[in-house]
Amino acid sequence: MYLGRVIGSVVATIKISHLEGRRLLMVDRLDTDGRVTGAYDIAVDVVQAGPGDTVLVLDEGNGARQILGLDPGAVRAVIVGIVDEVALAADR
């Protein structure tokens, strides 16, 4: 899992059945200072996240299939949480 920020959304009428009715959001991966890095993923949202939200992203197929109830399921990235606080050690 990693921390990301929702920076936008993707609309696609033609898509595989596993994605029907799913919200697809653009998530930019964050560094340890909470800044966007430019590394991104298009993720399925299951927690009603919105633009600007700091989110927890699952990036693994078996977990994604489990949480979406799919088998087979061609999904890896799923937004599984909205983050309230990150506390880091001073010495990293």
Partner 1 sequence: MRLARVIGTVVATRRSAGLEGIKLLVVQPLDEDRRPTGRPEVAADATAQAGPGHLVFMVASREGAQALPERFVPVDLAITGLVDDVHIVEAARRGGPTASWRWGH
Q: Please list every residue from 10 through 69 that binds partner 1, using CB under 8 A.
A: 10-16, 18-19, 24, 26, 28, 30, 33-36, 38, 40-43, 51-54, 61, 64
User: Which of 48, 47, 84, 83 has the alpha carbon at shortest distance from 67?
Assistant: 47
User: Which of 41, 53, 58 has the alpha carbon at shortest distance from 82?
Assistant: 53
Residue 11 tokens, joined: 């609309």
Least distance from partner 1 to the Cβ atom of residue 66, Å? 13
Q: How far apart are CA 55 and CA 76, in angstroms?
A: 15
Per CB under 8 A, does 1 bind partner 1? no
Of the two residues 73 and 80, which places its CB atom closer to partner 1 in the complex? 73
Of the two residues 1 and 86, which places its CB atom closer to partner 1 in the complex? 86
Residues interacting with partner 1, by CB under 8 A?
A: 5-16, 18-19, 24, 26, 28, 30, 33-36, 38, 40-43, 51-54, 61, 64, 72-77, 83-90
